[in-house]
Structure 1
Amino acid sequence: MDTEKYIPVLHLCDLYQIEISFFKELNEEGLIELVSRQNSMYVHEDKLYKVERIIRIYRELNVNIEGIDVVLNLLEKVDKLQNEVNSMQSRLRLYEDDH
């Protein structure tokens, strides 16, 4: 494993002032993937945005782990719908420009 692309969970715990058990619960619920190497746990740097989003939901909205999963699914659906709206608006503009 190339540890350059992974962030130690203990570093994230210090950075965000959060217990390691929180990350373990997220992993158990399938919300994030922890990689274990040499008695340490890591998160891939590509997943840092999702980790930060989860922490904000947890702290700012006081949402429990199960609720975080629901919120993330809803946000994903909103993003998908927004992309569809943007695509439709672009197609509509093309149609309107032709007429």
Structure 2
Amino acid sequence: MEKNEFILVESICQYHNIDPTFIESLIDLDLVKVIKVENFKYFKTDDLVQIEKMIRLHIDLGINLEGIDVVVNLLNQIEILEEELRSFKKRLSVFE
């Protein structure tokens, strides 16, 4: 396990001053994945932007866990649709 590929869940909680139960709830809802090594839980650093987005939705906007689940799923769907649109535009440009 490369040290800079993972970040300790506890570090995120301390940095953002959030209760670890919030992160546990995100894990239970399958919104974030953790890697367990011995008695410690880690996030992949690649997932950090998404995790911090969920933390901001909760703290800054007061969105509950179920709302975060909905928002994250909708944002993922938008991303998929935008990619499909880019693909269609690229294919369509061949005919212009």
- The alignment's TM-score, normalised by the length of structure 1, stands at 0.83
Q: Distance in 1 between matches of 2:89 and 2:71?
A: 27
CA distance in 2, matches of 1:84, 1:40: 39
- Percent of pairs identical after alignment? 33
Q: Which structure 2 residue ranges, 5 or more long, are not aligned? A: none
The amino acid of 1:95's aligned partner reads: F
**Partner amino acid, structure 1, of 2:65:** I
Structure 1 runs of 4+ off > 6 angstroms? none
CA distance in 2, matches of 1:83, 1:74: 14
Asked which structure has the greater CA Rg, the reply is: 1
Gaps of 5+ in 1: none
- 1:64-85 per-residue CA deviation (whole Å, 9 max, x = no partner) reads 1111111111111111111111
Correspondence list, 1:16-35, <5 A: 16-35=16-35
* Shift, 1:3, TM fit: 5.3
Q: TM-score, normalised by structure 2?
A: 0.85
